[in-house]
Chains A and B, each alone.
Chain A
Amino acid sequence: MSEFIQLLISGLSAGSIYALAAVGFTLLWQASQTINFAQGEFVMVPAFFVLALSVKLGLPIWLAMPLTVILSVLLLGALFKKLIVEPMHKHGTIPLVIATIALGLLIKEMVKEFYSPLGQPFPSLFPQTVLTVGDAVISVPDIANFVIAMGTIVALQLFLGRTRTGRSMQATAQNPDVAQILGVDIQRMVMYTFLINGALAAIASILITPIYLAKFSNGETLGLVAFIAAIVGGFNQIRGALVGGLLIGVIDNMSATYFSAEYRQALPMILLIVIILVRPQGLLGTSEGRTV
């Protein structure tokens, strides 16, 4: 039982970070029908911003991390929208998808070429200690990661639901024609979505990289997991992406211990196929298509 609890908490911790990436994925889709196949690299690269700022430029880590969030918001949010999404969007969804795949490859190769092809140690925000609850030994970073990731998603939900700007973003996502005739600045709302995705990617990167080391190839797994989590949970719901992320985190952890470490990466795929066959709109998704 104690092993089960440890695995559950560890899975929820990883899953909540996957959920951050998946939520960003769904937000971009809802606001602008952008399917961002570079999302994994968006989560990989902020870790290298932290390393470049702290190791190369010698900034303290407490400064490098918030600067990384700002850099990510600007580069992975604003610049991505202006340089890739806006010019490609008028050509349709497929050219934009191809462009994001190319962008992902470019980011990955640039990190490999200009930083290092080797995994780099990455500082953890939290002490590597454990809590003992009954027979279960629970990692403090796992709990802290879970709290921060969930707190970020709850804060995002509150922003979207409780502020006028958030509700304008929802209106833009759910019914852009109506938003326009009501005088909502649609382009600004879509831009906010991209900025938020940049911030979510940076937070996910800072939380997850201490677990895996900073490596140029981290985005391959993270991007796939974010995509699967978004589909499984429901591509048009933030809470769907959250549930999808948590579910995949837990399944991944449990399957490695109770089933087979060799097949742990196959199980999310099997889940994806089952969901697409049985409930194509996802666990919490709605068939109407575009809703926050």
Chain B
Amino acid sequence: MRIWGAEMLELKDIYGGYGKITILNGTSFSIPRASITTVIGPNGAGKSTVFKAIFGLLNIHSGAILLDGKDVTRKSPKEMIAEGVTYVPQGRNVVPQLSVYHNLELGGITARDQSMVKRRIETVMDQFPMLRQFKDRKAIELSGGQQKQLEVARALLLDPKLILIDEPSIGLSPNLVQEVFRTLQALRDQGVTILMVEQNAKAALAMSDYGLVLELGQTRMHDRADTLLADPKVGHLFLGGHIDEEEEA
């Protein structure tokens, strides 16, 4: 499914899964650069699995993934980082006993130029002043919202062009969710492309540029976020139903 040109990322008919179990059944979509796209869908739709497929953490049976027009299918996480992609999985993803500063440093562990990493740590700490305040504190001592900010900041360390962020609102208070969303919007305004999975569909679509609906490992809808928000089928989907072909037609 292609929309609005100048794509940063394109998935073409991806089939993949865990072992012999196929989760993605011909997933196809593209996302424009410098935008926020939210992926929504029922449990088991393959939302997080799509991210793993893009980031080289999933066995892809067939299909192609293009980043800026370049084929990056089946590249390893390390290679994807080198291509300018970072991934923030759902849940808590800090190294608990390391300091905030050293957690940030790990975001640049693959970089050869470590003096650049030090400069980038200073830059991201300017963007997230809380991290500078607590830079010597163990990551586990931060609150849930602070840990999520640390994860986002760490994902920015190598100046990525695409961030995959999975369920950033889990475990956060509504105020903190808004704070994380504002951070993502600010990054988008700086030219970073963001692909996000979010259960809190209404809030996520409200702050996104585009949305796509996954069901059973296939892209069922892909449109501007405000259009999806106004679509009654989206509400129906999240009330436990599914979109059948007749409805779509």
**Footprint of B on A, CB under 8 Å?**
164, 167-168, 170-171, 174-175, 177-185, 288, 291-292
B98 touches A170 (CB 8 A): yes
Distance of A177 Cα from B94 Cα, bound (Å): 10
B89 contacts A by Cβ under 8 Å: yes
Tell yes or no: B58 within 8 A of A by CB: no
Please tell me which one of the listed residues B96, B105, B110, B114 contacts residue A183 in the complex, with CB atoms under 8 A apart: B110
B98:A171 contact, CB within 8 angstroms: yes
B106–A182 CB distance below 8 A:
yes
What is the CB-to-nearest-CB distance from B92 to chain A, in angstroms, rounded to a whole number? 9
CA of A250 to CA of B110, assembled, Å: 45
Q: Is the CB of A184 within 8 A of B109?
A: yes
* In the complex, chain B residues whose CB is within 8 Å of the CB of A181: 55, 57, 77, 86-87, 89, 93
Name B106's contact: one of A184, A291, A292 (CB within 8 Å): A184
On whether the beta carbons of B94 and A178 are closer than 8 Å, the reply is yes
In the bound complex, residues from chain B placing their C-beta under 8 Å from that of A292 are 97
Give Cα distance in the complex from A164 to B121, angstroms. 15
* A175 and B55 form a contact (CB under 8 A): no
Q: Does B32 contact A (CB under 8 A)?
A: no
A178, B89: Cα distance in complex, Å: 8
Indicate if B119 sits at the interface (CB-CB under 8 A).
no
Minimum C-beta distance from B228 to chain A (A): 28
* Complex-state Cα separation, A182 to B154, whole angstroms: 9
Nearest 7 CB-CB pairings of A with B: A183-B110, A183-B78, A171-B95, A183-B81, A178-B93, A291-B97, A181-B87
A184–B105 alpha-carbon span in the complex (Å): 12
Contacts of B97 in A (CB 8 A): 170, 174, 291-292
Could you list which residues of chain B lie within 8 angstroms of chain A, going by C-beta atoms?
55, 57, 77-78, 81, 86-87, 89, 93-98, 102, 105-107, 109-110, 114, 154
A contact patch SS: helix
Residues of A with C-beta under 8 A to B86: 181
CA of A185 to CA of B78, assembled, Å:
8
Contact in complex: A174, B96 (CB < 8 Å): yes
Asked if B106 and A168 make an inter-chain contact with CB atoms under 8 angstroms apart, the answer reads yes
Roughly how many angstroms separate A292 CA and B98 CA in the complex, as a whole number?
A: 10
* B109 A183 Cβ-Cβ under 8 A: yes
Q: B95, B96, B114: which has the most chain A beta carbons within 10 Å? A: B95
Chain B binding surface SS class:
loop
B104 to chain A, nearest CB (A): 11
Give CA–CA (A180, B86) in the complex, Å.
11
CA A184 to CA B106, docked complex, whole Å? 8
Distance between Cα atoms of A288 and B77 in the complex (Å): 27
Q: How far is the CB of B83 from chain A (nearest CB, A)?
A: 11
Closest Cβ–Cβ distance, residue A250 to chain B (whole Å): 28
In the complex, the answer to whether A164 meets B96 with C-beta atoms within 8 Å is: no
Residues of A within 8 A of B55 (CB): 181
Given contacts A167-B106, A168-B106, A168-B109, contact A180 B94 (CB under 8 A): no
Q: Are A167 and B96 in contact (CB under 8 A)?
A: no
**Contact among A164, A174, A180 for B95, CB-based, below 8 A:** A174
Smallest Cβ-Cβ distance to B52: which chain A residue? A181
Contact B96 A175 (CB under 8 A): yes
Minimum CB–CB distance from B141 to chain A (whole Å) comes to 13
The CA-CA distance from A175 to B86 in the complex, in Å, is 17
Q: When chains A and B are docked, how far (Å) is the Cα of A175 from the Cα of B151?
A: 13
Q: How far is the CB of A179 from chain B (nearest CB, A)?
A: 8
- A187 CB to nearest chain B CB (Å): 12
Say yes or no: A180-B96 contact (C-beta < 8 A), given A167-B106, A168-B106: no
Q: Which of A178, A180, A182 has the most CB of B within 10 A?
A: A182
Contact of A164 among B77, B81, B109 (CB under 8 A): B109
With a cutoff of 8 Å between Cβ atoms, the chain A residues found around residue B95 in the complex are 167, 170-171, 174-175, 178-179
